[in-house]
Amino acid sequence: ALARQLEDHLNVMVLPVGSLDGLVMLRQGLCHLSGCHLLDINGEYNLPFVQHFFPDRTMLVVTLAFREQGLMLFPGNPKQFHNLSDLVRPGIVFINRQKGSGTRLWFDNEMHRLGLPTEKIRGYNREVRLHTECAHLVQSREADVAIGLRAAASQAGLDFIPLFHERYDMVIPQEQLEMLHPLVDTLQTRTFRQAVKNLLGYDLTHAGEQIPL
Protein backbone atom coordinates (compact mmCIF):
# COMPACT_ATOMS: atom_id res chain seq x y z
CA ALA A 1 0.00 0.00 0.00
CA LEU A 2 2.84 2.37 0.85
CA ALA A 3 4.72 1.56 -2.35
CA ARG A 4 1.62 2.24 -4.47
CA GLN A 5 1.13 5.64 -2.89
CA LEU A 6 4.77 6.54 -3.57
CA GLU A 7 4.77 5.62 -7.25
CA ASP A 8 4.97 9.28 -8.36
CA HIS A 9 7.99 9.90 -6.12
CA LEU A 10 9.89 6.67 -5.46
CA ASN A 11 10.22 3.22 -6.96
CA VAL A 12 10.07 0.92 -3.91
CA MET A 13 11.38 -2.64 -4.10
CA VAL A 14 10.95 -4.79 -0.99
CA LEU A 15 13.19 -7.78 -0.27
CA PRO A 16 12.00 -10.11 2.55
CA VAL A 17 15.33 -11.04 4.13
CA GLY A 18 14.59 -10.82 7.86
CA SER A 19 15.41 -8.01 10.27
CA LEU A 20 19.02 -8.95 11.07
CA ASP A 21 19.98 -9.52 7.45
CA GLY A 22 18.25 -6.27 6.56
CA LEU A 23 20.44 -4.34 8.99
CA VAL A 24 23.52 -6.12 7.64
CA MET A 25 22.59 -5.16 4.08
CA LEU A 26 21.93 -1.58 5.16
CA ARG A 27 25.34 -1.48 6.82
CA GLN A 28 26.90 -2.75 3.58
CA GLY A 29 25.12 -0.11 1.49
CA LEU A 30 22.99 -2.66 -0.39
CA CYS A 31 19.70 -0.89 0.37
CA HIS A 32 18.42 2.56 1.32
CA LEU A 33 16.43 1.57 4.41
CA SER A 34 15.56 -1.54 6.38
CA GLY A 35 12.53 -2.76 8.28
CA CYS A 36 13.18 -4.02 11.78
CA HIS A 37 11.21 -5.75 14.56
CA LEU A 38 13.87 -7.14 16.87
CA LEU A 39 13.21 -7.48 20.58
CA ASP A 40 16.24 -7.03 22.84
CA ILE A 41 16.62 -9.19 25.96
CA ASN A 42 15.88 -6.07 28.02
CA GLY A 43 12.50 -5.63 26.34
CA GLU A 44 13.41 -2.78 23.96
CA TYR A 45 12.55 -3.01 20.28
CA ASN A 46 15.11 -2.28 17.59
CA LEU A 47 17.16 0.54 19.12
CA PRO A 48 19.88 -1.64 20.73
CA PHE A 49 20.37 -3.46 17.43
CA VAL A 50 20.61 -0.22 15.43
CA GLN A 51 23.15 1.14 17.92
CA HIS A 52 25.16 -2.07 17.63
CA PHE A 53 25.25 -2.12 13.82
CA PHE A 54 25.76 1.63 13.34
CA PRO A 55 27.84 3.00 16.24
CA ASP A 56 29.63 5.42 13.90
CA ARG A 57 26.72 6.72 11.80
CA THR A 58 23.70 8.94 12.32
CA MET A 59 20.57 6.84 11.89
CA LEU A 60 16.86 7.58 12.03
CA VAL A 61 14.36 5.09 13.42
CA VAL A 62 10.82 5.75 12.21
CA THR A 63 7.82 3.68 13.28
CA LEU A 64 5.80 2.03 10.53
CA ALA A 65 3.24 0.24 12.72
CA PHE A 66 2.54 -1.81 15.78
CA ARG A 67 1.31 -5.26 14.80
CA GLU A 68 0.01 -8.45 16.36
CA GLN A 69 1.54 -11.90 16.07
CA GLY A 70 0.33 -15.25 17.33
CA LEU A 71 -0.40 -18.88 16.52
CA MET A 72 -1.92 -19.46 13.09
CA LEU A 73 -4.17 -22.53 13.11
CA PHE A 74 -6.42 -24.47 10.75
CA PRO A 75 -10.05 -23.26 11.03
CA GLY A 76 -11.83 -24.73 14.03
CA ASN A 77 -8.53 -25.40 15.81
CA PRO A 78 -8.83 -29.19 15.34
CA LYS A 79 -5.59 -29.89 17.25
CA GLN A 80 -6.86 -27.88 20.24
CA PHE A 81 -4.01 -25.41 20.62
CA HIS A 82 -4.04 -23.04 23.57
CA ASN A 83 -0.48 -21.74 23.98
CA LEU A 84 3.16 -22.34 23.05
CA SER A 85 3.50 -25.38 25.32
CA ASP A 86 1.25 -27.28 22.90
CA LEU A 87 4.02 -27.16 20.29
CA VAL A 88 5.95 -29.94 22.04
CA ARG A 89 3.01 -32.34 22.02
CA PRO A 90 3.63 -35.55 20.00
CA GLY A 91 2.37 -35.47 16.43
CA ILE A 92 2.18 -31.68 16.11
CA VAL A 93 3.82 -30.28 12.95
CA PHE A 94 5.25 -26.76 13.21
CA ILE A 95 6.62 -24.37 10.58
CA ASN A 96 9.38 -22.04 11.73
CA ARG A 97 10.62 -18.68 10.45
CA GLN A 98 14.18 -18.23 9.25
CA LYS A 99 17.05 -17.37 11.56
CA GLY A 100 17.56 -13.62 11.76
CA SER A 101 13.90 -12.72 11.46
CA GLY A 102 12.28 -10.77 14.27
CA THR A 103 9.62 -13.43 14.67
CA ARG A 104 12.21 -16.20 15.05
CA LEU A 105 14.19 -14.18 17.58
CA TRP A 106 11.07 -13.59 19.69
CA PHE A 107 10.06 -17.25 19.44
CA ASP A 108 13.45 -18.66 20.44
CA ASN A 109 13.74 -16.24 23.36
CA GLU A 110 10.22 -17.06 24.55
CA MET A 111 10.74 -20.81 24.34
CA HIS A 112 13.91 -20.42 26.38
CA ARG A 113 12.11 -18.26 28.93
CA LEU A 114 9.35 -20.84 29.29
CA GLY A 115 11.82 -23.73 29.52
CA LEU A 116 10.29 -25.51 26.51
CA PRO A 117 12.73 -27.73 24.56
CA THR A 118 12.77 -26.80 20.87
CA GLU A 119 14.32 -30.17 19.99
CA LYS A 120 10.94 -31.74 20.81
CA ILE A 121 9.15 -29.60 18.23
CA ARG A 122 8.52 -31.47 15.00
CA GLY A 123 9.34 -29.05 12.18
CA TYR A 124 11.43 -26.63 14.21
CA ASN A 125 14.23 -26.83 11.64
CA ARG A 126 11.94 -26.28 8.66
CA GLU A 127 12.20 -22.56 7.91
CA VAL A 128 10.27 -20.25 5.61
CA ARG A 129 10.74 -16.54 4.90
CA LEU A 130 7.24 -15.09 4.77
CA HIS A 131 4.27 -14.86 7.11
CA THR A 132 2.03 -15.58 4.12
CA GLU A 133 4.00 -18.72 3.32
CA CYS A 134 3.50 -19.93 6.90
CA ALA A 135 -0.22 -19.27 6.57
CA HIS A 136 -0.41 -21.14 3.27
CA LEU A 137 1.29 -24.22 4.72
CA VAL A 138 -1.18 -24.31 7.62
CA GLN A 139 -4.11 -23.68 5.27
CA SER A 140 -3.01 -26.59 3.03
CA ARG A 141 -2.56 -28.79 6.15
CA GLU A 142 1.15 -29.32 5.49
CA ALA A 143 1.58 -28.00 9.03
CA ASP A 144 -0.64 -27.75 12.08
CA VAL A 145 0.64 -24.45 13.39
CA ALA A 146 2.96 -21.53 12.71
CA ILE A 147 3.69 -18.18 14.32
CA GLY A 148 2.81 -15.17 12.24
CA LEU A 149 0.81 -12.02 11.74
CA ARG A 150 -2.89 -11.77 12.44
CA ALA A 151 -3.19 -10.14 9.01
CA ALA A 152 -1.69 -13.19 7.28
CA ALA A 153 -3.90 -15.57 9.26
CA SER A 154 -6.99 -13.55 8.39
CA GLN A 155 -6.17 -13.42 4.68
CA ALA A 156 -5.82 -17.22 4.65
CA GLY A 157 -9.02 -17.79 6.65
CA LEU A 158 -7.14 -19.32 9.60
CA ASP A 159 -7.86 -19.26 13.31
CA PHE A 160 -5.54 -17.12 15.39
CA ILE A 161 -4.39 -17.10 19.02
CA PRO A 162 -2.66 -13.79 19.87
CA LEU A 163 0.74 -13.98 21.57
CA PHE A 164 2.34 -10.53 21.42
CA HIS A 165 2.34 -7.04 19.90
CA GLU A 166 5.51 -5.69 18.35
CA ARG A 167 6.79 -2.37 17.05
CA TYR A 168 7.92 -2.48 13.44
CA ASP A 169 10.29 0.36 12.58
CA MET A 170 12.11 1.56 9.51
CA VAL A 171 15.82 2.28 9.91
CA ILE A 172 17.12 5.07 7.69
CA PRO A 173 20.67 6.45 7.38
CA GLN A 174 20.74 10.22 7.77
CA GLU A 175 22.29 10.63 4.31
CA GLN A 176 19.28 8.91 2.70
CA LEU A 177 16.69 11.08 4.40
CA GLU A 178 16.40 13.71 1.70
CA MET A 179 15.59 11.11 -0.94
CA LEU A 180 13.23 9.23 1.39
CA HIS A 181 11.31 12.26 2.66
CA PRO A 182 8.27 11.35 0.51
CA LEU A 183 8.12 7.96 2.22
CA VAL A 184 8.39 9.34 5.75
CA ASP A 185 5.84 12.07 5.02
CA THR A 186 3.35 9.61 3.49
CA LEU A 187 3.29 7.52 6.68
CA GLN A 188 1.47 10.29 8.52
CA THR A 189 -1.15 10.97 5.88
CA ARG A 190 -4.81 10.08 6.22
CA THR A 191 -4.68 8.54 2.74
CA PHE A 192 -2.10 5.97 3.77
CA ARG A 193 -3.85 5.10 7.02
CA GLN A 194 -7.16 4.65 5.22
CA ALA A 195 -5.50 2.35 2.68
CA VAL A 196 -4.45 -0.12 5.38
CA LYS A 197 -7.26 0.27 7.90
CA ASN A 198 -8.73 -3.11 6.97
CA LEU A 199 -5.45 -4.95 7.52
CA LEU A 200 -6.20 -6.79 10.74
CA GLY A 201 -3.67 -6.69 13.56
CA TYR A 202 -1.99 -3.45 12.44
CA ASP A 203 -2.10 -0.24 14.50
CA LEU A 204 -0.88 2.86 12.65
CA THR A 205 -1.45 5.31 15.50
CA HIS A 206 2.30 6.01 15.73
CA ALA A 207 3.15 5.64 12.02
CA GLY A 208 5.76 8.19 10.97
CA GLU A 209 6.97 9.01 14.48
CA GLN A 210 10.73 9.24 14.88
CA ILE A 211 12.21 7.43 17.88
CA PRO A 212 15.32 9.04 19.41
CA LEU A 213 18.43 6.87 19.54
pLDDT (tens digit per residue) in 165-188: 999 999 999 999 999 999 999 999
Residues whose CB is less than 8 angstroms from the CB of residue 207 and which lie 6 or more positions away in sequence, other chains included: 63, 64, 65, 187, 188, 192, 193
What confidence tier does 106 reach under pLDDT thresholds 50, 70, 90?
Answer: very high
What confidence tier does 164 reach under pLDDT thresholds 50, 70, 90?
Answer: very high
Q: Could you give the CA distance from residue 211 to residue 89 in angstroms, rounded to a whole number?
A: 41
Q: What is the pTM of this model?
A: 0.92
What's the pLDDT at 197?
Answer: 85
